[in-house]
Amino acid sequence: MSSEELNTRTRILEATWKLLEQQPNKDVSMSAIARATGITRQAVYLHFASRTELMIATTEYVDEVKGLYQRMERIGAASSGIEMLEAYVDVWGNYIPEIYGIARALLRVKETDEAAAAAWFRCMDCLRDVSKQIIETLEQEDKLTNALSPPDAIDMLLVMLSIEQWELLTRDCGWSHQKYVNEMKKLLVQSFVS
Amino acid sequence: MSSEELNTRTRILEATWKLLEQQPNKDVSMSAIARATGITRQAVYLHFASRTELMIATTEYVDEVKGLYQRMERIGAASSGIEMLEAYVDVWGNYIPEIYGIARALLRVKETDEAAAAAWFRCMDCLRDVSKQIIETLEQEDKLTNALSPPDAIDMLLVMLSIEQWELLTRDCGWSHQKYVNEMKKLLVQSFVS
DNA sequence: TCTTCACTTGACATGGTGTCAAGTCTGGAT
DNA sequence: ATCCAGACTTGACACCATGTCAAGTGAAGA
């Protein structure tokens, strides 16, 4: 039964993803998604109960396809805190542009929808774990700055590498993606390593 | 003639401001603003051509009432780059919570409206000037980190003190307003001063 | 052949922005 | 005293979004 059903579902997810990548700052409508999928608007609701649910599902779909967690393994393999930090910036900094469209959409929807906020914070929690791992490694090596306590350093690292921050630097300040990665590495080492 | 007219206009601006402060993450509607002002929705359009225009006018109104530029004078009066940096965090960090509601609204509207984006970037340009002044002072004192070039440092300082960053730390990480100011001062000195 | 499931067609409710026309009410000028 | 202009109201309408419902179609499988 579900081969065909899954197919349509996946086609909706792909269309949503594609539209969001094309116009990350527009509110892509259910009609536009249906049109891009080649079905009616009502049919979308046969697969996703609401716009929010579709956005959450698309986020999960993209995460699955793009395999962030696999890429993150590089970080644990690094042999020092500084190397971990740099690997983090590399992996994450290269990941953001690939998921920016859907991430922006989820960020917008999160403001008014609890389920979306929960989904967003689930993602944030994963990133926080990575951040924590790095700060703790730096601390064990006695290389963590004493300007910040370890818990505060975890928060700060997370926020420094947030999508919002990336957006400000690349969109508003005109930094290239490569410049973001390079400068961010330098700044983070300067900020967190004593 | 305009005493009465100005009065209603100001009442609308005050109502808009108040509603946005109460619910910074909801899209306050024109009906809600009219209701809070005690006039009809249509009457609001007699004073402001569109929702965007009202948001921009409210931003300007709040800026005028709150007098950011006056407060900023403290920064120029500081006797060293580090003191300027700390004064900036003090002034700006205490300002953000007072204007957060309308700032958030303008940020939302900026995504889809060019006029709102222009208004936003006008504000950003003022802040950039302050950021530039501080980085240049640090550079003249030979105290600027060599991890970043001066122009990049200006961008980075601006982004570190962005409303988005403040929002992440105080809302998502649960930092108190005071903690934000204290930790940010320490981190910025660590990051930008060699 | 009959049923089930995915999808379509077409309608409707609700709530937002923005516009229009006609009416009311008040203060000020003649 | 009257008349007028300007501020505001009333009540409509267009348009577009999300979300819901009911009835119909069409094809694959039992």
Q: pLDDT tens for residues B27-39?
A: 999 999 999 999 9
| Confidence label for B164 from pLDDT (cuts 50, 70 and 90) | very high
Task: Determine the longest span between alpha carbons in chain B, in angstroms.
Answer: 60
Report CA-CA distances (Å) from A105 to A27, A64, A96, B104.
Answer: 7, 17, 13, 16
| Direct distance between the N- and C-terminal alpha carbons of chain B, in angstroms, rounded to an integer | 59
Classify A144 as helix, strand or coil: strand
| Confidence label for A3 from pLDDT (cuts 50, 70 and 90) | very low
Nucleotides on strand C lying under 7 Å from protein C-beta: 5-11, 15-21
Report CA-CA distances (Å) from A115 to A54, A112, A122, B4.
Answer: 11, 9, 11, 46
Which DSSP symbol is given to B171?
I
Q: Comparing C-alpha atoms, which of B46, B71, B129, B63 is closest to residue B102?
A: B63
Of residues A47 and B3, which shows the higher confidence score?
Answer: A47
Which pair of structure tokens corresponds to residue B107?
A: 């940020």
Q: Where in chain A are all domains bearing CATH 1.10.10?
A: 2-48
Given CB atoms, is B162 within the 8 Å cutoff of chain A?
yes
Sign of CA dihedral A26, B19, A50, A165: positive
Percent of residues, chain B, with pLDDT higher than 70: 97
Q: Which residue has the tokens 């390593």?
A: A193
Chain B: residue whose CA lies nearest to A105:
B111
Q: Residue B152 is nearest to which of A152, A183, A189, comparing CB atoms?
A: A183
pLDDT at A4: 40
Nucleotides on strand D lying under 7 Å from protein C-beta: 6-12, 16-22
Q: Where in chain B are all domains bearing CATH 1.10.357?
A: 64-192
Residue A148 pLDDT > 60, yes or no? yes
pLDDT at B6: 61
User: Which residues of A are less than 8 Å from B26 in CB distance?
Assistant: 112
Q: Residue A191 is nearest to which of B27, B152, B190, comparing CB atoms?
A: B190
Q: How many CB atoms lie within 10 A of CB B76?
A: 12
Asked if the Cβ–Cβ distance from A27 to B112 is below 8 Å, we say yes
Q: Comparing C-alpha atoms, which of B177, B191, B168 is closest to residue B90?
A: B177
Task: Tell me which protein residue sits closest to nucleotide C5, measuring alpha carbon to C1'.
Answer: A1
Q: Which residue has the tokens 């539209």?
A: A19
pLDDT at B69: 85
The number of CA neighbours under 13 Å toward the Cβ of B30 is 15
Asked if the Cβ–Cβ distance from A190 to B124 is below 8 Å, we say no
Asked if the Cβ–Cβ distance from B147 to A175 is below 8 Å, we say no
Residue A2 pLDDT > 60, yes or no? no
Asked if the Cβ–Cβ distance from B159 to A175 is below 8 Å, we say no
- A2-48: which CATH topology? Arc Repressor Mutant, subunit A (1.10.10)
C-beta separation of A90 from A102 below 8 A: no
> For the ranges A68-82, A149-163, B129-143, which has the lowest average pLDDT?
A68-82
pLDDT at A145: 95
Q: Is domain A64-192 in CATH 1.10.150, yes or no?
A: no
Distance from CA of B2 to the nearest CA of A (A): 39
Q: Comparing C-alpha atoms, which of A86, A43, A101 is closest to residue A181?
A: A86
User: Which residues of B are less than 8 Å from A164 in CB distance?
Assistant: 162, 164-165, 168
C-beta separation of A30 from A41 below 8 A: yes
Chain B: residue whose CA lies nearest to A194:
B190
User: Which residues of B are less than 8 Å from A155 in CB distance?
Assistant: 169, 173, 175
For residue range A108-145, what is the model confidence (pLDDT) as tens digits? 999 999 999 999 999 999 999 999 999 999 999 999 99
**Minimum CA–C1' distance nucleotide for A31:** D17
For residue range A35-46, what is the model confidence (pLDDT) as tens digits? 999 999 999 999
